[in-house]
Every structure is written in structure tokens, then in C-alpha cells.
Structure 1
Amino acid sequence: MKKIGLFFIFLFINFGALGIGRLLMENGPLTEWYMELNKAPWTPPGWVFGTAWTTIMVCFSVYMAFLYDTLTSNRIWGLFAVQFLLNISWNFIFFNQHLITLGFINLILLSFLVFYFLIAFFNTLKIKSLLVAPYAIWLCVATSLNLYILLYN
């Protein structure tokens, strides 16, 4: 029962992050600035982003519920908080401020943190650690898209 409560807490926070990120980017993907950028040929259609982030946040919420239930600590909350801030700030940095290089750095830091979650707690959570894999994979895609924009614009 405790894990279910934790799952819903993390789900609420994670979907809150998506909502805040959406607000911070305003109409980002629909702006003239973004539309005129040279984008990577592997840039997925817009609907993929929503589907991917929904899947990622559900999986990450389950992962965080297991992790926090197993290792209740301020360290876990601290790492989660940094992940939260990096996640939502990219939207503002990239889409709102058009700071492509800083957005790329932000994604690199977020990727390191998510891979840290995947690796550092693997011995504790075992196979459940793979719930972080969709997040890690998506960040590799997102980082490559951001890098392409950085290099070709």
C-alpha cells in the first residue's frame, strides 16, 4: 500500500513537471524560430513527444516509488529534485530563451543524472532499475536532436 501512495505522489510531481515545462516553453515547437531551424532528419513527429514523455513519467514514477520505499533518504529526494529542475528548465532554456548550447549542456547533465539513477541503484532494485531505461534512451535521442540543432544552425 505504501508503494502505491508513493507512486501517486511521484506521478503527480512528474506530470506536474511536464505541465510546468509545457508552460515554460510557451508555443515553442510552433514558433517561427523553431520551425525555421535545421532539424535532424530523425526528428520524430510531434505526437511522439507526448507519448514518450507519458510513458517515461509513468515508468519513472514506479521506479521512484520502489527506490524511495527501499532507500528512504534525503539523498533520493535531492537527486529527484535536481532531475525535476533540469527536466523543466530545458524547456525554458531552449524554447523560450533560444539558448541552444545551454540547452545541450542541460540535457547532458540530465542524462548523467538519469544514468546515475539507472546504475547507482541497480544492486538495490535489480531488474526494477530498467524502469529508468525509457528515460535514459529518450534523453539520448533528445540530446542528439539538440546537438544537431546546435551544429547546423
Structure 2
Amino acid sequence: MWNLWDVGSLVIAVGLPVGVGFAGTAFGGGGDSEWYKELNKPPWTPPGWVFPIMWTTLYILMGVSSWLVYKEGGFSAQGYPLGAYIFQLALNFLWTPIFFGMHFVGYGLIEIIILWFAIALTIYLFLPVNPIAAYLLIPYIGWYVF
């Protein structure tokens, strides 16, 4: 049975990554910038209109995932998994200013590698708490290939 606390905490859990994602674009313009459009990208790079749809979907999945773990005792019981989640969320936020804002392609690549490990750690820590929460994060790793 849903209660006001469940609904409110789910809204916050989803709103946090969505907000962080949109806030990151304020520091770099994202895929709409002229700089990004002129980059030599691999042929499998999706068209630009796909990115906002996919990232919004991924942020929603991340929020639901974190909420499922949070429901298993909050930060007091799930401090390490939720801490890893917050760490990878911060790395996700930093990637946009590093890559799109400062045009540091090399540092962006290093940051993504660290982010992949942080996401993998989050999945690993979420798995015993709630397997569905862990599985919801898997598409997030693959999307950074583009």
C-alpha cells in the first residue's frame, strides 16, 4: 500500500538525478553545442534528438533504483550502497562541464572510466539489497559509449 511518505520519497529520488542531469547541461550546453556537433564521432552515435530522451529515461531509472534501495532501511541501513550512488551521481554531473564546457576530451575519458567503475560498484552494492534496483542501472553503463 502506497502512503504519502513513499510517494514523496520516490518523487525526491527521481527528481534528484533528473535535476542533476539538467543542471549539468547548464555548464556546457550538451550535445547541442557547436563544438560537439563538429567533433568526429563514431558512426554508431545516435542522432542528437535521442540524447535528451535517453538521458531522461536513464535518470528516472536511476532515481527509482536508488529509491528501491532507500526503502530497505534508509541511509542508516544502506549507507554504503547509497553513498556509492551519490558518488557516481556527482561524477555524472561533473562529466558534462568537463567534456562539453571545458572541452577536455582526455579528462572526460578518464572521468568516464572512473564513472564506469563507480556505477559498477553501485550495481554491486545494490544487488544484495534489491536486485531489481541493480538491474535498473545496467543501461546507464552502456550509454556512456556514445
Normalising by the residue count of structure 1, what TM-score does the alignment of the two structures yield?
0.81
Deviations 1:45-98 (A, max 9, x none): 011111111111111111101111114224344323322221111111111111
Unaligned runs of 5+ in 2: none
Does 2:126 match 1:126? no
Deviations 1:3-61 (A, max 9, x none): 332221111111111111110113x4344432332111111101111111111111111
Pick the aligned partner of 2:37 from 20, 35, 38.
35
Who is 1:62 aligned against?
Answer: 64
What is the CA–CA distance in structure 2 between the aligned matches of 1:136 and 1:45, rounded to whole Å? 19
Matches within 5 A, 1:101-112: 101-112=106-117
Who is 1:94 aligned against?
Answer: 99
C-alpha distance 70-106 of structure 1, shift in aligned 2 (>3 A): same
Pick the aligned partner of 1:75 from 77, 80, 87.
80
Q: Count residues with an aligned counterpart.
A: 140
Displacement over 6 Å in runs of 4+: none
Deviations 1:91-119 (A, max 9, x none): 11111111001001111111111111212
Instruction: Please tell me whether the aligned partners of residues 67 and 125 of structure 1 are also in contact (alpha carbons under 8 angstroms).
Output: yes
Give the 3-state SS of the residue equivalent to 1:111 in structure 2: helix
Q: Which has the higher helix share?
A: 1
* Percent identity for Structure 1 against Structure 2: 34
Normalising by the residue count of structure 2, what TM-score does the alignment of the two structures yield?
0.84
What is the CA–CA distance in structure 2 between the aligned matches of 1:21 and 1:14, rounded to whole Å? 10
Who is 2:47 aligned against?
Answer: 45
